[in-house]
Chain A
Amino acid sequence: MSTATAAQGADHEERDITVRGTRIRMLTAGSPSGAPLLYLHGSGDLGTWQPALAELAQTHRVYRPDHPGFGASDDKDGIDSVHDLAFFYLDLLDEIEAPEAVVVGSSLGGWIAADLATIEPRRVSRLALVDACGVRADDVATPDMFVHSPVELAALIYNDRDLKAAAVRRARAMEHDPGLFERYLRNQIATAHLGWNPYLHDPKLPTRLHRIIAPTLIMWGAEDHLLPVGYARRWAELLPKAETAIIDDAGHLPLVERPAAALDILRTFLGTGARP
């Protein structure tokens, strides 16, 4: 069931959909007949449409939901772990009548994507993990995102000096924008509930990753200071058949920070050719 509640955007639509009784906000783009691509966002993503998704919508039907408990989606009782969220997204695939989908997950979204692919491996045609949390690398030191202020987090997320400065400015401005600040806090609270302890990973996930059958891409920003590139190596150890792409000069969000380079890699991986 889906009801459009928002006006047609230039390159995407916004609507509410209901998944087994929970209302969530969904951004979609691309031809309805295109192969579905589910993009699972990261914890700090406040719901703005990313230009990179519009690019992917040239070849796919892109679905970009706000996770339950995040952004403009409702809370859902009983979601206490990423594993619970993974089941929610399998229900969502049923709801949008997608027997299978490309699943791209950034950061927290990558963790959900990997977990989902271990539960119903055949629902995932291709899996892309972008600076994904979800596993632990004993030898890689990571900052604790939960002790950092919005301004400090903004500085940790971006590598490019101008983008970092802009993100820090936005984080400062949030103090004067209660609506936006509340949305940020709600995402932080939802993330804390999922990943406070164990810190942003599931110790059992590595025992299930062998179930993934989809071709898998591990994409990482070489200069990620929130989840350092050592984590790309950890994922690669755990998913020996996956390909790894490290994007130079990018921080935690390569699709935002170096979209052209990241999209080239993603398009090649999806078999939809390099950038025209």
Chain B
Amino acid sequence: MSGTINDFSIHVATVNGSGSQTANTTLMRAIFQMGVPVSGKNLFPSNIAGLPTWFTIRVSDRGYLARRRANDVLVAMNPETSVEDIQAMGPGSVIVLNEGLPTPAIPSDRTVYKIPFQKLVEPLVPDAKFRKLVVNMVYVGVVASIVGIDPDEVERALQAQLGRKPKALETNLAAVRAGMEYAARNLGSSPFRVERRDRTAGKILIEGNDAAALGAMFGGITFLSWYPITPSSSLAEALQGYLERYRRDPKTGRATFGIIQAEDEIAAIGMVLGASWCGARAMTTTSGPGLSLMTEFTGYSYYAEIPAVIWDIQRVGPSTGLPTRTSQADLLSVAFLSHGDTKHVILLPATVEDCYEYGMESFDLAERLQAPVFVLSDLDLGMNVWMSDPFRYPEKPWDRGKVLTAADLTRIGKFERYRDVDGDGIPYRTLPGTDHPLAGCFTRGSGHDERAKYTENAETYARVMDRLAKKYETARTLVPPPVVERARGAEIGILAFGTSHWAVLEARDLLTPQGLETSYLLLKAIPFSKEVRAFLESHDRVYVVEQNRDGQMAALLKMEYPALATKLRSVLHYDGLPIDAQTIVDQIKNREREGVLAR
């Protein structure tokens, strides 16, 4: 097989808790430093130590960041999984194998390098306990050598991670060098090579949860309450880190934020509502099971009209499901979360940049709409590292919505909490502590009229519900619009949201040369803005790509546009791994072929 430059995947199989994260990050960063776009996908178990874990680094000159189904270079370090890991490798692949691991029969068109990792690391690390952690650095050296990663870049990448621990740095560098030297002496070079480019200059590498945390900080968050749950904890913890660093006065030690690790997710959302009711910019972050617990308070937030920002970093359900795998299957439950008639505003980040932007925008929307605003991220986006352009400092100030001060009340001379004064379905509110005799207001989840008085009156109830529906129509005009890319004359449209975006980008490039030209709509929010209908109307067939079993986005579209329902087809992926381009290509081609046969 001929050589492949800057277009392959490295798959590393290790044991959880063995310190492989530093090794894998070093490899990934070294390639990034060479100017070549990379993405890393961490496939980890719900476990602290002992279970199998995998890390896949995709090297792509063209900047494709989605998961690839097949891998080209395997590093097999885990005896529990080595047989299966090796069996999954295709013809032409390269297998770096820890000597002594169980193996299946390996066809001769795979290149196998058996490495005596233990022997290489033993002289470097006398203590057996540390040896286990350092051994991974040897494969960094081996891989760097056979795919041609500049040793200086490996050193720089390692320094960036261990620079503060000189002793650890020294030992790990020695291990890397041992791997490189062994490979140079004993192994050839692989057909998969990294060559220097200039495609990562000025770019950043960041996890979606980290990006979201930055957004929340620059959005002016003042209150966070949360309950630990994978894969959302890293958002809360990143945010805590940033706030401690940048929002606590170094002289006085006083903070302009409050963070509470709540006793459960019911309390977490309750605290958000209490804080938002007082006027704080408050948010919580959770995942599926936590979301289920937040159901009742979400309905309260909707009906009593209290802002709330709720990040859902989706994982695989139902129930505990696969807590460390990714999914887009919370969509329908979030869209209508609560008993009674409710429908919610949802932001759908596809990129780390979106996470940052929505970290800010979610507060503006929640306060403008006086409603819960959900941000539906997922494990793939939240917990994996993504390449991105650097984030922009916000140019706009902030939108704190319709809040009446004491001076406003004096000027107006009256206050009715739930009156639709402006005709947009959004009423005015006052904050507790406002020093004016008219400011007081009794907030309740039970039936209320325009003056916030208790009522069970039939007409009043219906009137309030109609106004809330009107407010949802206003939201349609405020949420971020979709990004539409039209291909001239294309009959086929693809509609996707969230992380499916990356696989769609690649799939379209694969479909075009096969005669399947596609337009694309990347949905950024619910409720759907007018561009969505226009997109459906202007295409003959629209493939809705999503990472769930039941075609949840397609279902929402069919509810909203029943007359266009027959145009919709689903491309589905729901095994817990991030969706890949080939899945989309295969499903679209199959359906198109069926269509031709039917005609």
A and B assemble together: no
